Amino acid sequence: MAISTQIVRLALASLLLPRKVGDFIAYATRIVAAMTGNPLFPTPTPALAAVTAAMVDLQNAQTAALARTKGAATTRDEKRAAVVVMLRQLRGYVQSIADATPENGASIIQSAGMAVRKTPVHAARVFGAKQGTVSGSAHLTAVVAARRASYEWQYSLDGGKTWIDVAGTLKASTTVTGLPAGTAAQFRSRAITKAGESDWSQAVVLVVK
C-alpha cells in the first residue's frame, strides 16, 4: 500500500477587519473585551489600555470626518492604520500563546475574539506505491533528492528475496507495469546524485490489482 504523509494542522490567528470604520471599531472593541481579564493572556502586547486609547482617538477622528471637518478624513485614516498595527501586534501575541500549546491553539485564539484559520503542514514526502491506472501496474513516488538526480527502482515478488530492476528515471516517480494481479509486490528506490548513491528506501508492499 502507499505510505501517506502525515498532516499536522496548526491553528493560525486571523483578523477579519471590517471596511466600515464603525464596524471596525466595534470589532476591535470585542477583541479588547475578550482579552481583558483573560487568564490566557496575562501580558498582552501592546497593552490593552493603549489599544483602547487608540480606538478612542479613531472614534473622535471619525466623528470629525462625518462632520466634514477639513483634514479630518486623512486624520481618521491615519488613526485607523494605527489601530490596525496594534491589532496585528495583538494577533502575534495571541499566536505565540496558541503555539505554546498547539493542541489547544484553536480555542485559545477564539477566546481572544479572533478567527481561526487552519493550515495543513505536510511532512516531507516519503517513498510510496499505489495502484496504477491499468491492471497489473503500480505508480511509485520517491523523495526528491536534489535538483539534479536520477532514481533507480526495484520490485520483488518473493518477499524481498530477489529484486528486479526497473528502468531508471530523472524524476522522482515512475510506473511499473506487467505485474501479476493479486500478488503482494514489494517496491523500493534509491537516488543517485553527485554525492553518490543513497541507500535503498524501506520497501513498500502493494497488493497488485
Q: Tell me the CATH number at 143.
A: 2.60.40.10
Give the length of the chain: 209
Q: What pLDDT, on a 0 to 100 scale, did the predictor assign at position 101? A: 87
The pLDDT tens digits for 134-182 are 999 999 999 899 989 999 999 999 999 999 999 999 999 999 999 999 9
Q: With CA atoms as reference, report the closest residue to 58 among 18, 13, 92, 94.
A: 18
* Residues 13 and 100 placed together within one structural domain of the fold: yes
Instruction: Give a yes or no: residue 116 inside a domain.
Output: yes
Instruction: Give a yes or no: residue 153 inside a domain.
Output: yes
Q: What pLDDT, on a 0 to 100 scale, did the predictor assign at position 123? A: 52
Q: Is the pLDDT of residue 92 over 60?
A: yes
From 106, 121, 136, the end of a domain falls on 121
Q: What pLDDT, on a 0 to 100 scale, did the predictor assign at position 7? A: 45
* Residues 198 and 102 placed together within one structural domain of the fold: no
From 121, 156, 175, the end of a domain falls on 121
| Domain range for 104 | 8-121
* Residue 4's pLDDT band (cuts 50, 70, 90): very low
Q: What pLDDT, on a 0 to 100 scale, did the predictor assign at position 189? A: 96
The per-residue DSSP string of 63-124 comes to HHHHTT-TTHHHHHHHHHHHHHHHHHHHHHHHHHHHHHSGGGHHHHHHHTT-EEEEEEEEPP
Mean pLDDT calculated for residue range 63-68: 95
Q: What pLDDT, on a 0 to 100 scale, did the predictor assign at position 119? A: 66
Q: What pLDDT, on a 0 to 100 scale, did the predictor assign at position 64? A: 96
Instruction: Give a yes or no: residue 56 inside a domain.
Output: yes
Instruction: State which H helix or E strand residue 155 sits in.
Output: strand 150-156
* Residues 22 and 115 placed together within one structural domain of the fold: yes
Q: What pLDDT, on a 0 to 100 scale, did the predictor assign at position 120? A: 59
Instruction: Give a yes or no: residue 173 inside a domain.
Output: yes
Instruction: Give a yes or no: residue 64 inside a domain.
Output: yes
From 102, 121, 140, the end of a domain falls on 121
* Residues 169 and 110 placed together within one structural domain of the fold: no
Q: Is the pLDDT of residue 3 over 80?
A: no
Q: What pLDDT, on a 0 to 100 scale, did the predictor assign at position 10? A: 77
Which residue type sits at 180? P
* Residues 158 and 114 placed together within one structural domain of the fold: no
Q: Any alpha helices (H) in the chain, and if so which ranges? A: 21-35, 48-66, 72-100, 105-111
Q: What pLDDT, on a 0 to 100 scale, did the predictor assign at position 102? A: 86
Q: With CA atoms as reference, report the closest residue to 138 among 181, 177, 180.
A: 177
Q: What pLDDT, on a 0 to 100 scale, did the predictor assign at position 122? A: 55
Instruction: Give a yes or no: residue 33 inside a domain.
Output: yes
Taking all residues of the chain, what is their mean pLDDT, rounded to a whole number?
A: 91
Instruction: Give a yes or no: residue 3 inside a domain.
Output: no
Q: With CA atoms as reference, report the closest residue to 142 among 154, 134, 133.
A: 154
Q: Is the pLDDT of residue 49 over 50?
A: yes
What total number of domains does the chain contain?
Answer: 2
* Bridge partners for 186 per DSSP: 156, 205
* Residues 23 and 117 placed together within one structural domain of the fold: yes
- The residue assigned the cell 466595534 is 26
C-alpha cell at 71: 483634514
* Residues 21 and 95 placed together within one structural domain of the fold: yes
**Percent over 90 (pLDDT), the chain:** 83
C-alpha cell at 138: 503500480
